[in-house]
Structure 1
Amino acid sequence: MKGVLLVNLGSPESPTAKDVKPYLDEFLMDKYVIDVPFLLRAFLVRGIILRKRPAKSAEAYAKVWWEEGSPLVVLSKRMFEKVKPQVSVPMALSMRYGNPNIYTGLKELADKGVTEVLLFPLYPHHAMSSTVTVLEKAEEVRKEHFPNMKFSSIPAFYNKPDYIKNLSDSIKKHLEGYDYDHLLFSYHGLPERHIRKTDITKSHCKIDGSCCNTPSPAHEFCYRHQCYETTKLVVKALGIPEGKYSQTFQSRLAGDKWLEPYTDVEVNKMPEKGIKNLAVVTPAFVADCLETLEEIAMEANHQFKEHGGENFMAVPCLNDDEEWCKTVAKWLNDWAK
């Protein structure tokens, strides 16, 4: 029997340092997130980062936490509940870090007699620290607990026409009546070395002004290229003129060269360039989370206005949008046939 496991990032159990610490430990100790040798990773994470970061992160989570719990988990569950009745096979929802975990989701499917699972990482773009770690963790759990299960997976959907239409329609709907000067596409950042590591040609990715626009087999797994493609396709769908939009990357950590330009740096420059009314969309996420609700809707908003901006709109993610849920259900039913 076939079944589907949707997987999103995850969240701490509560916005407290006590619960944030084990969540950050699981997340940052992932070799696909901080991709250095184990002993160095353990020293960085457990010897340095986890001494102060949990308290600071807990404050940020507390700003966006809902009565029902973590926005990311709540919104993922809402989307799941809308998709589930439209799909012809059993489904389960898991988080890569925290709960409900991947083992729980696979067991739920196994208990229903599922032997063939479609893994659906809820990320439009391929990256080591999102798609790859979900697939690797699921395989690790399968080998240990469900050796007779077979896996397949949904590839990155950054350029699928249905997804682009859903994203474009959602942006258009939320911007209705808002006279923006500029639309910023802000994607989650990655260390540049992650882009080079996922280059299957081992030679194409130069991270310059041309490689993402030069056709290559590397693009199947290139996060940077896929982000630029999403922007290009949405801009075309919405008819946004050149000069009225741009693309940046957010959420970098100190110490490494990350994808540029940086969201915070660019947002702070915009008012002096005459951009007084800004809209920001975050297409790397399908559900609103700490990075969209606190980092963009609160922090970037504040910084923009501190530097002379007047109006700021953070466009919500697709979340449990009806048309998006229909699209996901269609993809899953097509696979289940």
Structure 2
Amino acid sequence: MSKKGVLLVNLGTPDSPEVKDVKKYLDQFLMDGRVIDIPKFNRTLLVKGIIVPFRSLKTSKLYKEIWDEKGSPLLYYSKIQTQLVQEKLGDDYQVELAMRYQNPSIESALERLKAGLVESIKVIPMFPQYASASTGSVMQLVMELVSKWQTIPPISFVNSFHDNNLMLEVFAENATKHQPETYDHVLFSFHGLPERQLLKCDHTGNYCLKNDDCCETLNDTNKFCYSAQGHHTASLIAAKLGLSKDKYTVCFQSRLGKEPWVQPYTTDVLKKLAAEGKKRLLVFSPAFVADCLETLYEITVEYHEEFKALGGEHVQLVESLNDHPKFIEALVELAKN
């Protein structure tokens, strides 16, 4: 009997934390025209001439901080997620894992599905909120690769799952372990994007960033906006925890370069809260489905140290979805529906 194919795709990770592998990863990642969306000549000069040569050593050191005997946390949890989804779906499905950058590659995963003679392929980019630089990039590459096949099976994509109730429940449950009521403030810190990428998603040309609260309510105009979907995710998790709007802040981390990125920046929010006398912060990172460099180091180490230097006491990360049974159930539902 024919099987249905499921392709889970996460962002990627170097093959090792060594400089040579970090260089390969950064080069492939940052040369993606949807990640740094400027003319290719300029992008090549920037990435190959400046970013990769000067950032690889530092980034390698950061990866070594989170790498353990299991390897890359992102890859480790992605493999477990894939295995558990396969077990739940059973023999009627063939589930494959791919990374948008580095290994296992999308091309190799698609070839395995083709060799398995699957009758259809469901692609699930593992990014709760849609962004051109993440979900859009996965979709584009899958379509480019499959377009070269002589026989193209039915293919469908999950655009986003920012409001998936099971996912929201996992974040809320993980937060409850830390007793949110004992913290002075809660942050929902999403990975950042250049503002120009949000503007490109506004097909009307007259809504995005025209006022300070354009992302706070999801509507037909901003329904594919990464920031608006992020605000929506945060509000839904906050509702499950009974947090009022004055008890939490949505912010954005990991910006690169000097041009404006989505605001407020997490570092600025830390300064503001410290100045207000806040001492203990609970931080969600709901743009990721598995703990990785941006959660395990940037939040747990860098933001904790930065906040303490400003007079705060503690920054506590809410664990990501990882291998939580409810998240596996959510992926199974996305694969089936």
2: CA distance, partners of 1:177 / 1:128: 33
Moved more, 238-247 or 98-107: 238-247
CA shift at 1:168, angstroms? 1.9
Q: How do 1:21-36 and structure 2 match up within 5 A?
A: 21-36=23-38
| Paired amino acid for 1:57 | T
Q: How do 1:289-328 and structure 2 match up within 5 A?
A: 289-328=292-331
1:96 is aligned to 2:100: yes
Q: How do 1:7-46 and structure 2 match up within 5 A?
A: 7-46=9-48
TM-score with structure 1 length normalisation?
0.94
SS of the equivalent of 1:90 reads strand
CA shift at 1:133, angstroms? 0.1
SS of the equivalent of 2:78 reads helix
2: CA distance, partners of 1:317 / 1:169: 11
Structure 2 unaligned runs (5+)?
A: none
Which one of the candidate residues 221, 224, 227 is aligned to 2:227?
Answer: 224
CA shift at 1:278, angstroms? 1.0
CA shift at 1:107, angstroms? 1.3
Preserved contact between residue 167 and residue 321 of structure 2 (Cα < 8 Å)? no
**Counterpart in the other structure of 1:280:** 283
Structure 1 unaligned runs (5+)?
A: none
SS of the equivalent of 1:225 reads helix
Moved more, 103-112 or 21-30: 103-112
Q: How do 1:1-337 and structure 2 match up within 5 A?
A: 1=2, 2-87=4-89, 88-145=92-149, 147-172=151-176, 174-176=177-179, 179-206=182-209, 208-213=211-216, 216-333=219-336, 335=337
Identity of aligned residues (%): 39
Runs of 4+ in 1 over 4 A off after TM superposition: none
| Paired amino acid for 1:110 | K
Relative to structure 1, is the Cα distance of residues 47 and 151 closer, same or farther in structure 2, using a 3 angstrom cutoff?
A: same
SS of the equivalent of 2:93 reads coil
Alignment deviations for residues 51-101 of structure 1 (CA, whole Å, 9 cap, x no partner): 211111101111111212111111111111122111141110000001000
Provide the alpha-carbon RMSD of the alignment. 1.7
Preserved contact between residue 201 and residue 217 of structure 1 (Cα < 8 Å)? no
Preserved contact between residue 72 and residue 289 of structure 1 (Cα < 8 Å)? yes
2: CA distance, partners of 1:331 / 1:33: 26
CA shift at 1:220, angstroms? 2.4
CA shift at 1:145, angstroms? 4.5
Preserved contact between residue 277 and residue 311 of structure 1 (Cα < 8 Å)? yes
Preserved contact between residue 64 and residue 294 of structure 1 (Cα < 8 Å)? yes
Report how many residues are paired. Answer: 333
Relative to structure 1, is the Cα distance of residues 211 and 272 closer, same or farther in structure 2, using a 3 angstrom cutoff?
A: closer
SS of the equivalent of 1:286 reads coil
Preserved contact between residue 115 and residue 148 of structure 1 (Cα < 8 Å)? no
CA shift at 1:288, angstroms? 0.8
Preserved contact between residue 204 and residue 216 of structure 1 (Cα < 8 Å)? no
Relative to structure 1, is the Cα distance of residues 210 and 265 closer, same or farther in structure 2, using a 3 angstrom cutoff?
A: closer
